[in-house]
Amino acid sequence: MKIERIQGGVSLRRTIESETEEQRRAVLDIIAAVRARGDAALKEYTERFDGVTLDSLRVTEAEMERAHASMSAETLEIIREAAAHIRAYHERQKRQSWWMTNEDGTILGQKVTPLDAVGLYVPGGTAAYPSSVLMNVIPAQVAGVKRIVITSPPSKDGTLPAGVLAAAHELGVAEIYKVGGAQAIAALAYGTETIRPVDKIFGPGNIYVALAKREVFGHVAIDMIAGPSEIVVLADETARPDEIAADLLSQAEHDVRASAILVTPSMKLALAVASEVERQLETLPRREIAQAALETYGAIYVTETLDEAVEAVNELAPEHLEVMTAEPMALLGRLRHAGAMFFGRFSSEPVGDYFAGPNHVLPTNGTARFSSGLSVDEFVKKSSVIVYSEAALKQHGDKIAAFARLEGLEAHARAVEMRLKRERGER
């Protein structure tokens, strides 16, 4: 890994290559085809992109049961325990409708309503992610969403990963389709003969999935445009180089565009971590992916002081932030931007990916400066409730009408004044 000394004022935010016009046109063509030809287009694209011919798009109950039965009892117990932790955490996020009554009799409030239907995209490709099923489905269930749909690209034999189906089966999700890519997003947004449309689409994917989500936004809602995974480790000389190296590699193995960065005021630690990364890479099964990620998006930044290191981390605004310092929690108040923060050497990032309870769907590419991780809030909508009393309208009606005329909206003013005149006995 490259080691670089940095000082304050230097921008560390990385740039990810943007989509090409060719990619965007391809996505627009796919969306148009799915809207026009429905299931036929989905099957054609599945054959072209995934190399499999499907008679039926929907996963059958028998397939679900076979996948579930193929899992060992130990694996299923791990999935259940992880799900319990995730559910317990998200239950704390639930919002209730609320009401307030003013002295004049006016009632104001907010009605919290779960979305009717959501679509969850589970990526395929270089790895299978049953954890994504847990992290997306559970907050939807906690929110009270009635219809939860999963789409995922099939493998060459026409199946979905057993772990994905087993996790879905454990959670009681039965509506699952063997569709991936931009065509899956189009089907979730606009519907086909087999797949009914949803109200909001969740889940990461490749550049085509991301572009499709962007194109359908407005017709349906989306969670975010997810970028490659990121980790930043903030550490001082008390940290253990082998543990830091292991955690950096845990993100680098995700994708060739994943980012893994150490920020430290200790050159000694920086050199030791760089050496450890090279040593651990030798035996990593996904070595080629991790090495490519580190060569392009990996770095070790050495600052003069811990204060400068903290500011560098805030500039990076990473998806995952690990703090491995002598007193990690002492820095909590000064760390402003990160999707998830892990404090202390026992809080390795994979703990959050799978088991601790908080959601692992997090903002990437610096967007943690202004956005948050997936939560129950993303699966509900809030409606304002106004029951204005006669007394309140008499007291404030003239001011409301005046405000409307300030904006040049005479009909607004008259709508209020009509009621005032009637109550005053005027014509």
In sequence order, the β-bridge partners of residue 148 are 118
**131 has binding-site annotation:** no
The angle, 0 to 180 degrees and rounded to 10, between the axes of the packed helices 73-91 and 130-143 is 40
Q: Is the CA virtual torsion 8, 9, 10, 15 positive or negative?
A: positive
CB 314 within 8 A of CB 337: yes
**412 has binding-site annotation:** yes
Sheet of strand 340-343: strand arrangement: 3-5, 298-302, 259-264, 230-235, 320-324, 340-343
**85 has binding-site annotation:** no
State the Cα–Cα distance between residues 176 and 142, nearest whole angstrom.
19
List, by residue number, the catalytic residues: 319-320
CB 180 within 8 A of CB 161: no
State the Cα–Cα distance between residues 358 and 208, nearest whole angstrom.
28
Backbone angles phi, psi at 330, to 5 degrees: -65, -20
State the Cα–Cα distance between residues 43 and 362, nearest whole angstrom.
32
User: What is the greatest pairwise CA distance in the chain?
Assistant: 89
Spatial neighbors of 331 by CB under 8 A, at least 6 apart, are 234, 310, 323, 325
Any idea which residue has 């409030």 for tokens?
109
Could you list the beta-strand ranges (E) of 132-197. Answer: 147-151, 175-177
Instruction: Tell me the three state secondary structure of residue 261.
Output: strand
**206 has binding-site annotation:** yes
State the Cα–Cα distance between residues 49 and 178, nearest whole angstrom.
12
**254 has binding-site annotation:** yes
**365 has binding-site annotation:** no
Q: Is the CA virtual torsion 17, 20, 25, 26 positive or negative?
A: negative
Per-residue DSSP letter, 332: G
Q: Which residues are annotated as a binding site for NAD(+)?
A: 121, 183, 206
Q: Which residues are annotated as a binding site for Zn(2+)?
A: 251, 254, 353, 412
Q: Which residues are annotated as a binding site?
A: 121, 183, 206, 229, 251, 254, 320, 353, 407, 412
